[in-house]
């Protein structure tokens, strides 16, 4: 059963451009490391400090393999370092979900 990882970021609202650069970079590194990237989402209206990254993997074992690949990817390593140096991410949390409604859930009507 597929799992979806939703990363919720609290970002510095004055460094949104840095977050957008970070997100675009993951747009290349995440898929080649084995995850199906839905996308990164920056604030537009309302809260200026909440952003998201969302990707899907077949299972938690695949997540572990993906994390290893991403950590070894040169672009991924540079992106981690960029975030560390620029300090635009105040916090982040990961939530692992599974589909329970259509069209992707097992047994969904459709």
Torsion, Cα 28 73 18 87, to 10 degrees, reads: 160
Is residue 102 in a domain?
no
Domain that holds residue 23: 3-97
Is residue 84 in a domain?
yes
Is residue 34 in a domain?
yes
Is residue 106 in a domain?
no
Each residue of 64-74: b (16+ CB within 10 Å) or e? Answer: eebeebbeebe
**Whole-prediction pTM value?**
0.87
Number of domains in the chain: 1
Is residue 62 in a domain?
yes
CATH number of the domain to which 33 belongs: 3.30.70.100
Q: What is the pLDDT of residues 8-41, one digit of tens each?
A: 999 999 999 999 999 999 999 999 999 999 999 9
Is residue 108 in a domain?
no
Q: How confident is the model at residue 1 (pLDDT cuts 50, 70, 90)?
A: confident
Is residue 16 in a domain?
yes
Instruction: Report the pLDDT value the prediction gives residue 66, as an integer from 0 to 100.
Output: 96
Is residue 67 in a domain?
yes
Instruction: Report the pLDDT value the prediction gives residue 105, as an integer from 0 to 100.
Output: 65
């Amino acid at each position: 059963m597929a799992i979806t990882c939703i990363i919720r970021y609290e970002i510095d609202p004055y460094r949104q451009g840095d977050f957008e650069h970070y997100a675009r970079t993951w747009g290349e590194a995440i898929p080649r490391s084995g995850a199906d990237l839905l996308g990164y989402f920056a604030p537009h209206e309302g809260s200026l400090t909440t952003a998201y990254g969302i990707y899907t993997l077949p299972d938690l074992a695949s997540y572990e393999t993906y994390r290893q690949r991403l950590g070894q990817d040169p672009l991924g390593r540079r992106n981690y370092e960029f975030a560390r140096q620029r300090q635009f991410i105040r916090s982040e949390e990961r939530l692992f979900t599974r589909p329970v409604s259509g069209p992707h859930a097992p047994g969904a009507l459709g």
